[in-house]
Chain A
Amino acid sequence: MRFLMTTRGSDDMTPPTEAMYAEMAAFIEEMTQAGVLLATGGLDPAGTHISSSAGEITVTDGPFTEAKEAIVSFALIEARSKEEAIELARRFWKVVGDGEGDIQQVFGPED
């Protein structure tokens, strides 16, 4: 089963330390090797917003969300179950520290 883990930005996010980067890198490497982590990355807060209504498509700058609502990074993971995804997320947050995020199952062609 695949899950998308996202983390949100927050006003008082502690800036990452050297040590945290190293731990994070090791964590990512381990998860990638095991095939658990399929893809990961940080998101540029300045993006493009698209809205489509009654056939008309509007393109603007965006997303304009509050800092603590914006999604700042994602990880696509492969896990046996939702519980495993949660456990992996817990380990991730142990490394990162304070913050918030979501886990959503990604449906594939077979679902």
Chain B
Amino acid sequence: MSGDTHRAVDAVWKMESARIVAGLVRMVGDVGEAEEFAQDALLAALEQWPRAGVPDNPGAWLMAVAKRRAIDRLRREKRLDLRHEELAHDLATRQDTAGADLDASSDEEVSDDVLRLMFVSCHPALSAESRVALTLRLLGGLRTEEIARAFLVSESTIAQRVVRAKRTLAALRIPFEVPVGPDRAARLSSVLEVVYLVFNEGYAASAGDDWMRQDLCQEALRLGRLLAGLAPGEAEAHGLVALMELQASRAAARTGPSGEPVALHEQNRGRWDRLLIRRGFTALLRARSCEAPPGPYVLQAAIAVCHAQARTAEETDWRQIAALYAALAQVLPTPVVQLNRAVALAMAHGPEAGLALADTLVGAPALKGYHRLPSVRGDLLARLGRHEEARREFERAAALTLNVPERTILTRRAAACADLAARAPGTAAAGQGAAVTLAEAAIAFLARGDLDAATVRSYRQTMNRLRRELGDDIPLSEVSSARVAEIFTGAWGDAAPATWNRHRGAVRSFSTWIAAQGAPVGGPAPGPRGGPDRGQAGEAGGGPPGGLTGDAPRDLAAGLERRPEPRGRTRPIDRSHVEALWRRPDIAPRERALWSLLHESGAGAGAVLSLNVEDLDLAGMRGKAATGSGWIRWCSGTAELIPHLVAGRRRGPLFLSDRRPGPGRPPAPADLCPETGRRRLSYERAEYLFKRATGHTLNQLRTR
């Protein structure tokens, strides 16, 4: 019986929490405090309803309890305003809460408050994940552990995000109001982004996932509908709702029996939910009636409507869709939009039109590693009869996707293209039978007898990367220095200069080796950068079988500059920088003490972190490290700071972590402080903090 009541409380909470929290924020002005009072009311319900039964008007009951707590606190802190004085008096003179109109606000005011709460919890100053967590908590009434299950992270991660979000809102004193004027569009866009994020997270869930995760689509739909209801003049809000309703309508049709994704044009439209489709149409009509120029969500919804209106895939109005994508690309010029536009263009005007656009996206960094680009190109190439190229694209796509059923489909298509390529007479593949592929060249290059094992290992790393990015079967002649440069930037652009230069060296060596393999028959030996001879050399016909023929060998590393490497080992930090460091006001006491100690003692960071309180001789300004022998000695600067860190403790590690260790990973007893329960500060954490503050490593604090 009490389990039932708990669930009843939970159900009511999810229905009412947005209104309750919003009303409280109006009263107390702070989101964190408001949530506390709301939680108080929830706890009271969990305590009392199992005994007394669920009240007649549970929403009002919760609101009354929450407000009473809030009023008590405000009165104690003398923050009560006139209106709530009256309400407080009213509450005090009543005997029971049933039937009392304790809500001093009208329905409209409550709605306004909920809208304000949405804008606040989605404030752009918060990170996207914090916004999501806070919004789901305050407006969705979800518990922390439900949010954690939905997003596949730990409960404490979500709790942290919520806490940080509340702190940030308080620190920035975000006002409790609906933005107007020039700010409004950006703030609204921030809210829509949160809602769509939640939706997409749910959309990505698979059938075997926790139902809370699958339910995220519903949650997002609720939030979206709520927003559209509260801000009916905003076309984009209706647009987002329309888009979500239409996407959700296809949920039952988009996975096959073995969990493989089914493309839109192959879906069984009889499984589309017509109820949701109708709702989607209605929402889009509402958006249109707002008479604003269509924004990204409205346009995406319009595209979804085109699909929903077609009874079969063949009846799809692709011209309309292509036109809508052109408009969408104006307001949302991302490569993904352009890719989708390419697909639409191909359907409306033929594969060349689509391929022309898709080809321009090949170098786009945002699409690197995105399997859909080669997948789409493969499809278009196949439709144009360019089967060999299509096969390569499908293989690339298969290598890039993490989804197993999807990979199977792509591999199958690649094989089908290979079949067609082999059978078609007079295609490029037939004439190129002897062309060497990248994989063959790489293997041969690494197999040469004159390199030592370490070099081969290093070169192999480089070659493997190139093979992965370009595909094993790409003819060597099609590998360009521009493409290699792109791959380098993506793979090692942020790596240490030594790493970059090492890989660059491998490519240069490879290029030299290719050039040395033999010149094509019948033409003068081409220079390393090619040149006017290139064309002739190519046309001179295929060279010796199995040799490296075709274009003149180019320096594949032509696009790669050598990066200067810093000299020497750990250089100590410049003295003036160290002095400036002590003057900084934003350093925590623990860090200040640690860094000062490292600097003055010249001891290693590991030794210093192993210090325990019981081993300190504060008067003698020295301490005995657990590791190694001998004393660590410091000077007056550190001597001032250490006592504050010890803070009256008698034993345990000197430098402690901020948080207690989680239940799953108990540290060794020697690393645990018996008084605070916190563990010894780890080297990694200390190093991270120092690097983040100064960009240097801890060992650079040593002066000798």
Contacts and interface: CB of A to CB of B under 8 A. Distances in A.
Interface string B1-30: 000100110111011000000000000000
A108 B248 CA distance: 14
Given A87-B8, A87-B11, A108 B222 contact: no
B215 interface: yes
B11 A84 contact: yes
A107 B115 CA distance: 34
B225 A35 contact: yes
A38 interface: yes
A80 B14 contact: yes
Contact of A109 (B8, B58, B225, B252): B252
A80 B146 CA distance: 13
Interface string B216-233: 001001100110110000
A38 B275 contact: yes
Nearest to B207: A110
B468 interface: no
Interface in A18-37: 33-35
Nearest to A34: B225
B11 A83 contact: yes
Contacts of A39: 275
Contacts of B691: none
B275 A84 contact: no
A39 B226 CA distance: 19
A83 B271 contact: no
A80 B218 contact: yes
Interface in B223-271: 225-226, 228-229, 252, 271
Contacts of B10: 81, 83
Nearest to B221: A35
B15 A87 contact: yes
Contact of B14 (A82, A84, A109): A84
Contacts of B275: 38-39
A78 B8 CA distance: 16
B215 A80 contact: yes
Given A34-B229, A35-B221, A35-B279, A81 B207 contact: no
Interface in A81-111: 81-84, 86-87, 108-110
A38 B11 CA distance: 19
A81 B215 CA distance: 11
A97 to B, nearest CB: 14
A80 B279 contact: no
B8 A110 contact: no
Contacts of B4: 83
Interface string A37-67: 0110000000000000000000000000000
Contacts of B221: 35
B218 A83 contact: no
Contacts of A87: 8, 11-12, 15, 58
A39 B15 CA distance: 20
A66 B4 CA distance: 33
Nearest to B7: A83
Q: Which 3 A-B pairs have the closest CB atoms?
A: A83-B11, A84-B11, A83-B7
Interface of A: 33-35, 38-39, 78, 80-84, 86-87, 108-110
